[in-house]
Amino acid sequence: MAGAGRYRRWLPALLAIAAMAIGHGAARAQTNESGDLSIELIDPKVLRVCADPRNLPFSNEKGEGFENKLAELFAQKLQKKLEFTYFPQATGFVRMTLGSHRCDVIMGFPQGDELAQGTNPYYRTAYALIAKQGSGLDDVTTLEDERLKGKHIGVVAGTPPGTNMAAAGLMANAKPYPLMIDTRIDSSAEAMISDLAKGEIDAGVLWGPMAGFYAKKANPPLHVTPLVKETTGPKLVYRIGMGVRPADQNWKRQLNRLIQENQGEINKILLDFGVPLLDENDRPIGPETAAKSP
């Protein structure tokens, strides 16, 4: 899953540096088979969430991200007080938050990433191509489309679509944006969208939640196409769940139940933020099918 999400979740690429972080935290908690969550959680009366202070559309300190909203939903369902531990999603994120027992859940975590134990996925999405409406690229559905040849395409360096773009011969004119950034002062997604609006690039490739969010905010709105038809390079579709400490089995099971029982409300929140949701057959999930699982 390297590169998709928590760059968020792209995040795996950022968190890879902290691969040993969870071990420290896991050593502090023994597997609890009794069902007593008080052994696993910092405070059983509080839902403590690990989050980035400036990483929209996922989270920020003002509570404006969809992970903030999902945390509010879960706190309500659990009848717990909600508290956030904020730390930039860069080197040391897991170690300084989940691994240090300062919080109990990362709201967005890629399935298959071994830095923490993942819950069942609560959404499925893909990297997406962003283009201006009426540009002639707004109906492109794959990076292998000949219409992209010779175009200036933005891509975040080190993310999976770069491999697909290289295979399609698109890197010569590509504009790279940095992956390793301090989200408190910079945003590669915002920079890419700004360049697209100014005509400095012809199209961009972003992680789906970012693509949908910023394309929706643009004036006029940009067209977003999830890249689900790639045949060269890695698949660009990923499942996203939540992350907990490896020993927190009962907590994981409780979160899994909450995901299953509240999938419709979860989907509605994600769709409100422009996240391009996909079902297991790569078909878009819209408001009319939002009650279905990812």
pLDDT at position 294 is 59
Tell me how far apart the alpha carbons of residues 247 and 270 are, in angstroms, rounded to a whole number.
29
CA pair distance 278, 60, nearest whole angstrom: 25
**Residue 52 belongs to a domain:** yes
The whole-number pLDDT of residue 182 equals 72
Residues 112 and 246 in one domain: yes
Q: Rounded mean pLDDT of 158-174?
A: 97
The pLDDT assigned to 39 comes to: 64
Condensed to tens digits (0 to 9), the pLDDT of residues 85-116 reads 999 887 788 889 999 999 999 999 987 767 78
Q: Flag whether 211 is in a domain.
A: yes
Is 6 inside any structural domain? no
| Residue 38 confidence (pLDDT) | 56
Both 16 and 117 in one domain: the answer is yes
Residue 261 belongs to a domain? yes
24 in the same domain as 103: yes
The answer to whether 214 and 223 have CB atoms below 8 angstroms apart is no
40, 26: one domain: yes
Q: What is the pLDDT of residue 92?
A: 81
Q: What is the pLDDT of residues 251-264, one digit of tens each?
A: 999 999 999 999 99
Confidence of residue 26 (pLDDT cuts 50, 70, 90): very low
% the chain with pLDDT above 90: 74
Q: Where are the alpha helices (DSSP H) in the chain?
A: 12-15, 21-26, 66-78, 93-96, 161-167, 188-198, 208-217, 249-261, 263-272
Cα–Cα distance, 55 to 34 (Å, whole number):
37
Domain boundaries, position 72: 12-123+237-289
Token readout for 272 is 């409100």
**d(C-alpha 139, C-alpha 203), whole Å:** 12
Mean pLDDT of 275-280: 97
Q: Per-residue pLDDT for 290 more than 80?
A: no
pTM for this model (two decimals): 0.86
Kindly list the distances between the CA atom of residue 290 and the CA atoms of 95, 132, 139, 264, 268, in Å, as whole numbers in the listed order.
35, 27, 24, 5, 6
Task: Flag whether 112 is in a domain.
Answer: yes
Mean pLDDT in residue range 10-31: 35
- 208 and 80 in one domain? no
**20 plus 81 within the same structural domain:** yes
> Is residue 1 in a domain?
no
Domain boundary among 226, 248, 276: 226
Percentage above 70 pLDDT, the chain: 85
Which class for 219: exposed (0-12), middle (13-18), buried (19 or more C-beta within 10 A)?
exposed
Asked if residue 107 belongs to a domain, the reply is yes
The reply to whether 4 falls in a domain is: no
Mean pLDDT, the chain, rounded, equals: 87
Q: Is the pLDDT of residue 1 over 70?
A: no
Tell which residue, 130, 126, 181, has the closest CA to residue 155. 130
Phi, psi of 54 (to 5 degrees): -150, 80
Give tens-digit pLDDT for 197-212: 999 999 999 999 999 9
- Residue 1's nearest CA partner among 250, 187, 235 is 235
- Number of structural domains found in the chain: 2
pLDDT exceeds cutoff 80 at 216: yes
Confidence of residue 175 (pLDDT cuts 50, 70, 90): very high
Shared domain check, 88 and 183: no
- Give yes or no for residue 14 having a pLDDT over 90: no
Give the per-residue pLDDT at 180: 80
3-state helix, strand, coil in the chain (%, to 5): 30, 20, 50
- Out of 19-33, 39-53, 143-157, least confident range: 19-33
Whether pLDDT at 292 is above 70: no
pLDDT of 228-248, one tens digit each?
A: 999 988 999 999 999 999 999
Which amino acid is it at 194? S
Residues 108 and 245 in one domain: yes
pLDDT at 195 over 50: yes
- The predicted-structure confidence for 41-84, as pLDDT tens digits, reads as follows 989 999 999 999 999 999 999 999 999 999 999 999 999 999 99
On whether both 138 and 199 belong to a single domain, the answer is yes
- Tell me, what's the pLDDT at 254? 97
Shared domain for 242 and 104, answered yes or no, is yes
pLDDT value at position 293? 56
The CATH number of whichever domain residue 109 belongs to comes to 3.40.190.10
The answer on 244 and 192 residing in a single domain is no
38, 68: one domain: yes
